[in-house]
Structures are given as C-alpha cells and as structure tokens.
Amino acid sequence: MNIDLNLKIGGAAGQGLQTTGMTLSKTLKKSGFHVFATQYYLSRVRGGHNTFQIRISDSPVYAMTESVDLLLALDAASIEQHMAEVTDGVVVVDKDVIEVKEDQNSVFHVPMLKIARDVCGDKIYSNSVSLGAVIGLLCLEMSDLETILKLSFRKKGEEIIQKNIAAARAGYDHVKENYPGGCKFAVSEPDQKDDLMLINGNEAVGLGALAAGVQFLAAYPMTPSTGVMTYVAANADRFNVVVEQAEDEIAALNMVLGASFAGARSMTTTSGGGFALMTEALGLASITETPAVIFLCQRPGPATGLPTMTEQGDLQFVLNAAQGEFPRCILAPGTPEECFYLTAEAFNIADRYHIPVFVMSDQYLADSLFTLPRFDASRVEVERHLLTDQELRTKNEEYRRYKITPVGISPRALPGQVGTVVVADSDEHDEFGHINEDPDNRIKMNDKRMKKLEVLREEMPAPKIYGRPDASITLIGWGSTFGPLAEVVDILNEKGRSVNLVHFTHIHPLPAEEARNSLSKAKKTICVENNSTGQFARMLKVDAGIDVTGHVLRYDGKPFSPEFIINALKEKEVI
Amino acid sequence: MVSIEDYGKYETAWCPGCGNFGILKAIKQALVNLGKEPHEVLIASGIGQSSKLPHYLKCNAFNGLHGRSLPPATGAKVANHELTVLAVTGDGDCYGEGGNHFLHTVRRNPDITMIVHDNQIYGLTKGQASPTSEIGMKTKVQTHGVFNMPLNPLSLAISLDCSFVSRGYAGNIPHLTSLIEKAIQHKGLSLVDVLQPCVSFNKLNTFNWYSERVYEMEDTGYELNDRVKAFERSLEWGDRIPLGVFYVNDKPSFEEHQEVLQSGPLYRNKPEKEKIDPLIDSFI
C-alpha cells in the first residue's frame, strides 16, 4: 500500500455533507483509487455535528482509520473535535465563516463562500469550491471531478453544471496559487483503473433482493434499514415488485407471510426495535412453514437506543426471538459483496426449507461505501421449490401441506392451484394444516420442523480463514467487522506477528463441526464484537463447545477501527 | 357446477346454537351462489371462535395470529389477485387487537371481504368485555360493568370512507347470504359486520334481543354513496337496529393502483436477470 490517505468532512446536518462526501468518493474512485467511506451522523434533520470520512488507497481497503490527513471543516465543531486527529495533514477551512482561535500551520484558509459568490453569484456553490480545493491539495487533476459533477447535476441542467464546475475550478486554482508548493499530498492516480463498484451495504442488499427476484416487500421505515426499502422501491416498477409501507412492523411481516403463502417471493426490512414488534409473526412464519426473508439492520438498543449509530447487539435476540422452539436461519454479511450474494442465498434457503431467514447487517455496513469488484449476477440462482400443476395432478393422495418427510420439508403447493386447497394454521396442526391438539401429533410436527434445522446445518459453509492458517493469535469475528479485522491481520503480520482471522457469515444454524475444525489449530482465540457481552462468543460456546481465550468488545455506538482493535490487544497483553 | 357439498362437512369446536353456524352457512351459500370453486377462495383469519371458521369449510386458509387477519389477507391478495380473498374475524380480533390494521386496511382498500363476527363479548377467553360490549355489561373482569364507550364499527368505517359498509345478522341467513354475495362482488374492501349471539357468555345480546330489534333497511332508503346519510344511519342502535348495506364508494382498489398487476398475478412473474447488469453498472 503506497497511498493511504484519510479525508474527513465535518459539518452540521443540512450542510450538504453527504452530497459533498459522495461526490468526492465517486471522483476518487473514478481516478482509480480504492475507496472506503463511512458516515457518523446524529438523529436529526438539521444541525448537530456529523462527519463523512473517506479513505483512499491504491490497494483494497475495507475499514476506516483514525488519523486524518485532510480535514474539511464546515463547522466550528469540526475544528474543536477533530483538530487533534490531524497530525501531519491539512485543515481546510473558510476562516471568513469559522473562527479558528489558534492559528496553526496545518490550517489552510479557503474563502469558499466568497469564491462561490464571486464566481457563481451564490453561496450555495461553496461546497463545490471545497471539492476543487480538496482535489487540488491531493495534487490530482480536475478532469475526474468535472466528469462526476456533470453526472451529479445532469438533471438540473447545463447552467447548474457549469456553475458547479466553475466553482470547483476556482477552489482548485485557489490551492494552486496559495498553498505552498501548489499542493499538499504527492498523490498520483493509479495506472491500473479497475472496473470497481462504489456501493454501500444497504444498496447491495437491495440489489441482491432484486437479483433474487423479490416480488413483494412490506416494511415500516426504520434507521438504518430504510435504505434497502427505498432502493427496492426506486427499482420496483422495472422489476415488477410491489413495495408497501405498512402501518407498523406487525403488519409488515404478517403481510409478507400472506404474500409468501400465496406464492410471492417476499421480504421485510427493519432494525432491532421494529423486529421486536415482528417477533410474534416470526413464530407464525415458522409454524405455518412460510418462507420469509427478514433484513435486520442493527443499531444500539435497548428501545430507541442510539438511532444512527452501530452495534452488533441483536444476535442473541434474533436467535431466541418469539416463543416456542423452531428453526430459523441467520446470515451475516461482512462486505457489500456478501450483502449481495447472501441476500440472494437467503431467498433460496427460505424457499427450500420454508423458514424465516435473516440477513443481519448493521449501521456501519449499511451506510459505508466500499469499492468492490463488479457483482456477478449470473452466480445468483433462483430456486423456488414449488409443486407444479402437473406434479400436483399426478399425486394419488390428497395434498398434505405438512406431510411428514425424512428431511422435514413438505412439498409446497400454492393457493389457487386446481384440485387442491392449502391450509396454514398458527395452532399446532395435522399434515393437512388443520388444528390438532393431540400430543403424538405435536411431537411429530415439532420434530418435523426441527429436523429442517439439522439438515440445513449440514449445508452451512465453514467460516472463512483470512491470513496464515497456523497463526499464534486467531481473531474471531462475524458479520460487518470483517474489514477492520482483516486489516488488523495485515498490519500485525507485516510487523512480524503471527495473526489470522476466522470470520463467520453463516451464523445459525452454526456449522459446529466446521467451526471446531477451523479453530482446532488456534492457540489464542480473541473474539472481536461490536457489543458488550460477547454474544457470538457465547454462541460458539453453546453451539460448538468452543471457549475463546479473550474478547475485544466495543459498544459506544461506533464501529471498530484497526487502531482500536490493536490498542485493545496491547492492553490485554495479547500482543 | 360448484355445490355446497364441495365445501365439505366438518366437526366444529363451537357451542351448540352458536351464531357462528349461521355465518358459516351464509358464507358457503354465498360462495356457491357466485360459482366460486374452493381452490379459488382464500380465507385469512385471526384468533377467536370466529377465526376457526376456515377450518370448517374446504378452501385455502391462512389462520394466523390474534388481530392479524387483514395484513396476510392483503399480502395474499397482492400476490395473487385472482383469488377471492375473505378475512374472517371477530369484534375482539378485528376492532381490539387488530384495530390499527382495520384502520389502515380500510385506507389501503384491497379487494377483500371482511366478515366480522360481532358478538359483543370475548368468547374464546370465556366472557370478558369486547370493544363493542354495551355500557353497563358486567363480566368477571368488568365487575362494575363496562364504562368504556363501545366502538361503532359502521360509523368508524364510514368515517374512514370504507368502500363497502354493511351489517348482517347471524339469525337471518338468507339476508346475510345476499349481503356477503354483494360484498364479495364489490371491488375494494367490504365490511360485513355480523351481529352474532354468543349463547354461552353474552346473556344480554341474545337471539331474542337481536330478533326483536333488527330490521332490514330498504335498499331505496337513500343513495348508497351518500356518506353523511350513511353515517346518520350507522348511529341508529337501540330499539331498532338496521341491517343491510349502509354505504358504497366505488374507488380504485389497492391492487388497481399496482401497475405491475395489470399483466397478471404477481407470483407468476419470472425474475428478469438481464435487467440486473445495467443496475450493477450504475454503481461503476
């Protein structure tokens, strides 16, 4: 890694932070850099102090780092809170607007407001001035920024495009003329420009659902899950999807179950608080053996918790949600790439086993932008496992929706198919679906449902091992922490340590034997989780009898950075 | 030709003499009169003695959770709008536990026929007050009698501009049958609130009590799309209780708003993978 720069934009909500950050991310990706961008925002529409952080490199990057090379300060809080993070970098600030008390060498004044007014006649162009200034300080050319501005303002017409470009160029020129040496970072564009995607976790889940042929989505908006719903809704017409905003989460999952029962591939999206309301219908999905995909994007709880921040605090809840005992499946992607493929896989598992399948993400993965190789849609198979009319006709017995079979999966017909009716019931029922309270029937039906879990367990793949197989320290992670953990492995191994990562995406039913095999050579195992009690480590103990040596836990609402993990390992004297 | 026999004969868990039998009979007869085959019909229900109804006739059924008959019914209708979808529910199920779904399903207006067994009491949990119980009714829980204002389902539905609002009586099966037929034929959400005596727990609103009070409204009493008149009529409750259609409003159904359904049922659409690549490209 020759280039590794961290750019931070700080400002209040409503100041155009996200647009500026997105435009800059797209520009730098276009220039051929690998980009990782993450947001920190508060639960309010205007005001507060938010940040948009962009890391660029000539190698793949999947995590944020803590030291800042370039701080674009759009509010006073940016100076107060982040000045110390800029050790050897530059702070871009409009001193006409923001008072900077100590005149430090790192501060570089760009009169964004004045330039915007002078060049374009309106202060709203000051964000574009700042973009030009950043590109200038990076010693890059203007052409990629101009291309991205053209694309971004396409719908607003030629005049707006030209004004934004003029503003950006004026910011760029200001740097060339006033910054000592003309620019700060000797960054040159990578020669090899890969065909990479710039995508966040939520968009990738939405894309995965569309690739898997989702037909119905009902949900109640809840941060940080809403992005999936809006992404699918934006493409619903082209992909023949019905998206309905339900009156509450209770209705959302119940609607999904009705639609799925009648044959539509269906999903819902929510966060922990919304899922709390869905737990009743979760049990219904299971006893009626109705396929459902539940996208659960975690944020810190309990109750309303920290609405815009991140945590992996809902694993044990999802594992145990709803009364009674029944099978469910939990998948936890670590990158947008896995969001795409695992969401598609979730639909197939739901349709094959007739169970609820969770895709568990969190705010960090949902909102962070990654550069990734192009997704391969041809790898997505759509498996419905439905009885055809022909198969139904050639059956010589009356159709039984809940027929007892060796694997616990019964043939699935749909309401409306000629010659039969399909009956589902939330009560314990017989093979036909009718209420049956007989103890023997209860045992048979319970066993039939639970059997599916054991069959599915056989199919769950082993965790991925990142780094050397025989390391002396093994980090264990699940879901979204993949990026920072993989980076920790690289950093420590480069420094002569011997570290690897065993990372789980297929969480439940836990492939216990594979988990034991993967960890059989591990000498010291440290489970790293974004929660305060080590929920996944507990699962490893209960489901696979694996005891970890230690934990690194974070639960302040923020995601892991490699530095945080390395410091914690030092504190615990693991390294 | 479809016949009553096609809808099967089942043993029930209802008390002898229960008003539910009349409703079951009327539903079967209405479906037969309309020529609906069992495989074309889907009944969604919640929890309560009413909601066991789909188990007592042969048709597709989704007997879900307490208060939640309407969301699955909506989902199923949108997935396959060729199905005739009924939601069978009770006063506790629909107006109590499922009150929010009632409000919003009326707003959504899917082409579903909602049949509410309104016995003004909780039967399955053995005799507590329901949202429609009369003031003063004493129960083991409401020991001083009911204080809470009873909910008027018809007024509420009319105030929400529900697309079809009607009331039937389990003791008048021919009238109820024709009401259910009209409700099924109506495109959009149809409410059939059915006065249904509970012979075990409601000693107040008995067959005799209802029979002395109910009367069939003349169809020509007023134009059925007059919301204000319908509202006035819905407030009539006491010595005389009107039966029949109160209000009809022909507005587009939930499914009619979904352009994707114009080409056929949603569940039959095949995934169009070739459309994914351009979408992926938009991230490059």
Give the Cα separation of B90 and B207 in Å (integer).
Answer: 18
> Chain A contacts of B275, Cβ < 8 Å?
238-239
**Contact check, Cβ <8 Å, A262/B54:** no
Give the Cα separation of A274 and A250 in Å (integer).
Answer: 8
**Contact check, Cβ <8 Å, A241/B260:** yes
> Chain A contacts of B9, Cβ < 8 Å?
none
Q: Which long-range contacts (CB under 8 A, 24 or more apart) does B224-229 make?
A: B224/B248, B225/B249, B225/B250, B227/B158, B227/B161
Structure tokens at A52: 């948009």
Question: Over the stretch B173-215, which tens digit does the pLDDT of each residue have?
Answer: 999 999 999 999 999 999 999 999 999 999 999 999 999 999 9
The answer, yes or no, to whether the previous bond of A509 is cis (omega within 30 of 0) is yes
Residue A255: which of B40, B71, B82 has the nearest Cβ? B71
CB A284 within 8 A of CB B65: yes
CB B7 within 8 A of CB B39: no
Residue B75: which of A255, A421, A424 has the nearest Cβ? A255
Sheet order of strands, A90-93 included: A107-109, A90-93, A70-73, A4-13, A47-57, A34-40, A369-373, A196-200
> Chain B contacts of A266, Cβ < 8 Å?
75, 79
Residues β-bridged to residue A295: A269, A359
The interface residues of chain A toward chain B in range 357-396, judged by CB-CB distance below 8 A, are 374-375, 377-378, 380, 382
Q: How confident is the model at residue A132 (pLDDT cuts 50, 70, 90)?
A: very high
Give the Cα separation of A575 and A491 in Å (integer).
Answer: 12
Question: Over the stretch A36-54, which tens digit does the pLDDT of each residue have?
Answer: 999 988 888 878 899 999 9
CA distances from B252 to A185, B181, B183 (A): 62, 20, 15
Mean pLDDT of all residues in chain A? Answer: 96
CA B259 distance to own-chain centroid: 26
Is the pLDDT at B218 greater than 80? The verdict is no
CA A408 distance to own-chain centroid: 33
Running DSSP on this structure, what letter comes out for residue B95? I
**Contact check, Cβ <8 Å, B78/A416:** no
DSSP H helical segments within chain B, as ranges?
Answer: 20-33, 70-79, 91, 99-108, 153-159, 173-185, 207-213, 227-234, 254-257, 276-281
Could you tell me which of B145, B153, B146 has the C-alpha nearest to residue B118?
B153
Is the pLDDT at B220 greater than 60? The verdict is no
pLDDT for res A342: 98
pLDDT for res A107: 94
The interface residues of chain B toward chain A in range 103-162, judged by CB-CB distance below 8 A, are 103-104, 108
pLDDT for res B47: 97
CB A272 within 8 A of CB A297: no
Decide if A37 touches B, using CB distance below 8 A.
no
Give the Cα separation of B168 and A83 in Å (integer).
Answer: 73
Give the Cα separation of A142 and B71 in Å (integer).
Answer: 54
Structure tokens at B68: 């939640």
Mean pLDDT of all residues in chain B? Answer: 96
Decide if B283 touches A, using CB distance below 8 A.
yes
Query: What mean pLDDT do residues A217-222 have?
Result: 98
pLDDT for res A118: 96
> Chain A contacts of B75, Cβ < 8 Å?
216, 218, 254-262, 264, 266
Query: What mean pLDDT do residues A103-110 have?
Result: 87
> Chain A contacts of B72, Cβ < 8 Å?
254-255, 257-258, 261
Strand A423-425 versus strand A464-467 pairing type = unpaired
Question: Over the stretch A344-373, which tens digit does the pLDDT of each residue have?
Answer: 999 999 999 999 999 999 999 999 999 999
Could you tell me which of B260, B252, B225, B269 has the C-alpha nearest to residue B110?
B252
Query: What mean pLDDT do residues B30-52 have?
Result: 97
**CA dihedral of B136, B138, B142, B148, whole degrees rounded to 10:** -20
Concatenate the DSSP letters of all residues of A394-434 into one string. T--S---TT---TTSPPP---TT-TT---EEESS-B-TTS-
CB B168 within 8 A of CB B176: yes
First to last CA, chain B: 59
Question: Over the stretch A427-444, which tens digit does the pLDDT of each residue have?
Answer: 999 999 999 999 999 999
Residue B83: which of A254, A415, A425 has the nearest Cβ? A415
The interface residues of chain A toward chain B in range 407-466, judged by CB-CB distance below 8 A, are 414-427, 433-435
Q: Is B216 helix (H, G, I), strand (E, B) or coil?
A: strand
The interface residues of chain A toward chain B in range 174-233, judged by CB-CB distance below 8 A, are 195-199, 203, 207, 210-213, 215-216, 218
Give the Cα separation of A570 and A489 in Å (integer).
Answer: 14
Q: What are the two backbone dihedrals, phi and then psi, of residue A433, each rounded to the nearest 5 degrees?
A: 100, 0
For A97, the enclosing helix (H) or strand (E) is none
Residue A264: which of B39, B73, B266 has the nearest Cβ? B266
Sheet order of strands, A550-553 included: A464-467, A499-504, A473-478, A524-529, A550-553
Interface test with B, best of A421, A428, A430 (most B CBs within 10 A): A421
Q: What are the two backbone dihedrals, phi and then psi, of residue A90, each rounded to the nearest 5 degrees?
A: -135, 140
Is the pLDDT at A103 greater than 80? The verdict is no
Q: Is B211 helix (H, G, I), strand (E, B) or coil?
A: helix
Radius of gyration over every alpha carbon of chain A, rounded to an integer in angstroms: 26
Q: How confident is the model at residue A14 (pLDDT cuts 50, 70, 90)?
A: confident
Decide if B2 touches A, using CB distance below 8 A.
no
Helix and strand numbers, DSSP H then E, in chain A: 19, 21
Q: Is A525 helix (H, G, I), strand (E, B) or coil?
A: strand
First to last CA, chain A: 23
Query: What mean pLDDT do residues A507-533 have?
Result: 96
Could you tell me which of A229, A232, A291, A246 has the C-alpha nearest to residue A265?
A291
Give the Cα separation of A146 and A27 in Å (integer).
Answer: 9
**Contact check, Cβ <8 Å, A288/B64:** yes
For A71, the enclosing helix (H) or strand (E) is strand A70-73
Residue A258: which of B47, B73, B283 has the nearest Cβ? B73
pLDDT for res A191: 82
Largest Cα–Cα separation, chain B: 74
**Contact check, Cβ <8 Å, A236/B260:** yes
Question: Over the stretch B1-36, which tens digit does the pLDDT of each residue have?
Answer: 899 999 999 999 999 999 999 999 999 999 999 999
Is the pLDDT at A329 greater than 70? The verdict is yes
Q: What is the pTM of this model?
A: 0.97
CB A569 within 8 A of CB A71: no
Running DSSP on this structure, what letter comes out for residue B16? T
Give the nearest chain B residue to A383 (CA atoms): B271
Give the Cα separation of B89 and B74 in Å (integer).
Answer: 14
Task: Taking each helix axis as running N to C, give the angle between helix A439-459 and helix A336-353, from 0 to 180 degrees, rounded to the nearest 10.
Answer: 150
In residues, how long is chain B?
284
Q: How confident is the model at residue A484 (pLDDT cuts 50, 70, 90)?
A: very high
Who's near A180: CB < 8 A, 6+ residues apart?
A: none
The interface residues of chain B toward chain A in range 42-101, judged by CB-CB distance below 8 A, are 42, 44, 47, 52, 54-55, 58-65, 68, 70-80, 82-83, 100-101
Give the Cα separation of B226 and A303 in Å (integer).
Answer: 46
Work out the minimum CA distance from A386 to partner chain B, whole angstroms: 12
Ranges of beta strands (E only) in B74-135 are: 84-90, 112-118
Tell me the helix, strand and coil percentages in chain A, rounded to 5: 40, 20, 40
Question: Over the stretch A234-265, which tens digit does the pLDDT of each residue have?
Answer: 999 999 999 999 999 999 999 999 999 999 99
Quick count: other Cβ atoms within 10 Å of Cβ A513?
12
pLDDT for res B221: 61
Running DSSP on this structure, what letter comes out for residue B189? -
Is the pLDDT at B224 greater than 60? The verdict is yes
Task: Burial-class residue B76 by CB neighbours within 10 Å (0-12, 13-18, 19+).
Answer: buried
**Contact check, Cβ <8 Å, A239/B275:** yes
Residue given tokens 């080590």 in the structure block: A534
> Chain A contacts of B78, Cβ < 8 Å?
216, 242, 244, 259, 264
**Contact check, Cβ <8 Å, B78/A435:** no
For A320, the enclosing helix (H) or strand (E) is helix A315-320
Instruction: Indicate the range of A100-104, A287-291, A355-359, A455-459 predicted with least confidence.
Output: A100-104
Structure tokens at B129: 């007050």
Task: Burial-class residue B165 by CB neighbours within 10 Å (0-12, 13-18, 19+).
Answer: buried
Residue B79: which of A259, A421, A424 has the nearest Cβ? A259
Count of pairs with CB atoms under 8 A, one residue in A, one in B: 196
Structure tokens at A106: 């790192």
Give the Cα separation of B91 and B23 in Å (integer).
Answer: 14
Sheet order of strands, A242-245 included: A242-245, A216-219, A266-270, A292-298, A356-362, A329-331, A506-508
Is the pLDDT at A414 greater than 80? The verdict is yes
pLDDT for res A2: 85
